[in-house]
Amino acid sequence: MGLSKEDRRTHILQKATDIFLNHGYERTSMDEVNECIGCSKATLYKYFSSKQELFINVIDHAVHTYTQVIINTTAQLQNRKIDCWQSLHNFGVSYLNLHLSPVMMKITRMIIAECEHTGIGELMYQRGPQKGWMKISTHLESLMERGILRHADPFTTAMQFKGLLESGLIDKQLRGAISNVSEEEVQRQASNALDTFRRAYEINQDAISPNMKMDGNRS
């Protein structure tokens, strides 16, 4: 039995993703994608009318996967049996591991490189990071309502937490300044980001231990 229409579309996207990641947008041709997939040109163009449309759908598929990981990770934030700060730390670790993964790093670089040529920048931001971080902002708003965080714009607060997470390892790896990152480094980056975030937003500053404040000063 042959693949269903949706399964064939997914198969094309998966194969095309590998080609785009290895060769980039400019050096990838529809003929190359067609040869790799092993279908007729008519079949390929039936799903995607141009290389640009295929590329946009490849990125959209990857961003959707990314968004689902973030949304799934945020589910534990709603569990009040887990300390809220531990939950945010765990989220930070998951977020860092996702973005530091080789595939996601390649996708991020490819989006940055091609956004001006394909016009996908704003679209991908709305479908990916913005959607995922709206979930985080909703959680942070609930912490404000519970008197744990001081009141501020929830989305701005979420974006500042995002910036703290990304300012070290992700920023350096994106620019090729570092390559391999250890789990210890990921844990330390998440801790440092959360420490700074707590000092900026936590109402009960006495709850921040001296050790936590000291750890936050490490680079």
Residue 2's pLDDT band (cuts 50, 70, 90):
low
Percent of the chain predicted with pLDDT > 90: 36
Residue 203 CA, chain-centre distance (Å), reads 29
Place of tokens 């000291």: 214
- pLDDT digit string, tens, across residues 81-133: 778 999 899 999 989 998 898 888 888 888 888 777 666 677 777 767 777 78
Is the CATH number 3.30.420.240 carried by domain 62-215?
no
pLDDT averaged over every residue in the chain: 84
- pLDDT digit string, tens, across residues 128-158: 777 778 889 999 999 999 999 999 999 999 9
- Domains of the chain, residue spans: 1-49, 62-215
Task: State the CATH class of domain 1-49.
Answer: mainly alpha
* Residue 129 zone, left/alpha/beta (φ > 0; ψ -120 to 50; rest): alpha
Residue 46 has pLDDT above 50, yes or no: yes
